[in-house]
Amino acid sequence: MNAKKLKQLYLIKRLLLVTIIAYVVVFILMNTSYLSIDNIRRFGFSAKTALTQTSATANDTLTYSSGSIPVFAPFKDGLAVLEDSSVSVYSRDNVKFSVHSTSFRNPVMRVSEEYILCYDRGGKKLCVYNSFDLLFEKEFSDVIINADIDDSGRIAVITEKHGYKGQLTVFNTSFEERFMWYSADDYLVDVYFTGTHSVSVVSVAQNLENIDTVVYTVNYSAGEERSRITSRNVFPLAVAEKNDGSVEILSETGLVSFRSGGCNTIYSYGARTPYKFYQSDKYTVFAYDLHTQNDHFSIYVTDITGNKQFETIVENVRSVSAFADTIFVLTGNKLQSFDRTGTVVFEKEIPEGMTGIVVGKHKCVLYGAEKAYILSISDIVK
């Protein structure tokens, strides 16, 4: 009898083991892109933290006393924070994975799926991190204007160059210089990875008494310039890469979209002047001050082709943002989120002193002069 029960127990264990193995295999096949070395280390760190009950270091509030507001960027399911003297990476539970000492006078941060790019705009230093390590560091001989990094770790850097009006350098996934391109005619101001083996380079050019915006498409694999599109009498105040590979320029008069077939103005402010704006990969959000006694603002949202999504009135606007199909508005005392039709889907009272908002897939950061509050997107977008 005992032998029979032991045999049954053995079979049950075998079935459980086979089921677990099958589940793991299916999970791996469905999440291959997620299983990077960095993500495995993040998982191990979080599991260890939970098992050893050291998660007391997690905090939904970040304070800083450096005198300047840090740069925040959602990274994976957590957060990256760049200050003048340090770079910190946080987990989904706001536990600090790592902190690195650095020194930037004008810190800029751009993130991709796997990498954190930090550089000193107007300086010469550039660094690349994952969740735990400094992967690459370089001191350029010339001043950095702007830079970008793609999901594979390729870096595109615009620097000043004596005798030219800018230099583009592309580094491969091993952080080796792969391609250089010089501009003799236009001042290079920004760069984005916008296609397979290609980058879009935004520049400005003198046109008699006016300024033109010129966007180049450069194939760094073939080592050649593929296209040059010019928008007359347009100065780029802000630049955004859209999810269809186009580049959107915010100018003094409206939005100009640059695509492979050319460029066109997709939205004009008219007689209004934006008080706040935000360009996501799908939408551009404007806040127009209506100059009323009760501080009313018009929130206007346009899509990637310039089509109006909605317009609504909100009081006391401090900042606007967007992620996926959700629009976020930060006011003096609350955070609101809207769907693409303008329907309010979330509203929450917030602490005083919050002036800005950064939103990602998992995290929403509200920040002010001395501290930042971290919210989970799952609590905001139902």
What is the per-residue pLDDT across 94-116, written as a single tens digit (0 to 9) for each? 889 999 999 999 999 999 999 99
| pLDDT of the residue at 13 | 65
Helix (H, G, I), strand (E, B), or coil: what is residue 19? helix
Report the percent of the chain where pLDDT is more than 90. 73
pTM above 0.85, yes or no: yes
Q: Please, are residues 95 and 88 in contact by the beta-carbon 8 Å criterion?
A: no
Residue 30 has a pLDDT of: 46
Burial environment of residue 282 by CB neighbours within 10 A (0 to 12, 13 to 18, 19 or more): middle
CA gap 72, 51 in Å, rounded: 29
pLDDT tens-place string over residues 246-294: 999 999 999 999 998 899 999 999 999 999 999 999 999 999 999 998 8
* Phi, psi dihedral angles at 206 (to 5 degrees): -75, 130
Better-scored residue on pLDDT, 26 or 44: 44
Q: Is the model's pLDDT at 70 over the cut of 90?
A: yes
Q: How many CB atoms lie within 10 A of CB 340?
A: 16
- Buried b / exposed e across 120-144, counting CB within 10 Å, b at 16+? beebebbbbbbbeebebebebebeb
Distance in angstroms (rounded) separating the CA atoms of residues 377 and 366: 12
pLDDT in tens, 32-45: 455 688 988 888 87
Residue 238 and residue 276: Cα distance in Å, rounded?
12
Average pLDDT score, the chain: 89
What's the confidence (pLDDT) of residue 29?
Answer: 43
pLDDT score of 285: 98
More confident residue, 17 or 306: 306
CATH architecture of 271-382: 6 Propeller (2.120)
List the single range of 33-42, 134-143, 186-195 with lowest mean pLDDT.
33-42
Among residues 309, 326, 327, 308, the alpha carbon closest in space to that of 317 is found at: 327
What integer is the mean pLDDT of 190-210? 92
**Can you tell me the mean pLDDT for 229-253?**
95
Cα gap 23→28, rounded to integer Å: 9
More confident of the two residues 80 and 44: 80
For residue 55, the model assigns a pLDDT of: 45
CA 371 to each of CA 67, 87, 191: distance values in angstroms, whole numbers, following the listed order: 11, 16, 31
> How large is the average pLDDT for residues 364-378?
92
**Is pLDDT at 181 greater than 50 in this prediction?**
yes
The neighbour count for residue 25, using CB atoms within 10 Å, is 10
Q: Which two tokens stand for residue 322?
A: 């967007």
Q: Looking at residue 299, what is its pLDDT?
A: 98
Q: Tokens in use for 37?
A: 């070395």
- Chain centre to alpha carbon of residue 129: 15
Residue linked to tokens 């008494």: 209
Residue 47 pLDDT: 74
**Is residue 360 over pLDDT 90?**
yes
101/74 Cα distance (integer angstroms): 20
Out of 4-8, 231-235, 316-320, least confident range: 4-8
Q: Is the pLDDT of residue 25 over 50?
A: no
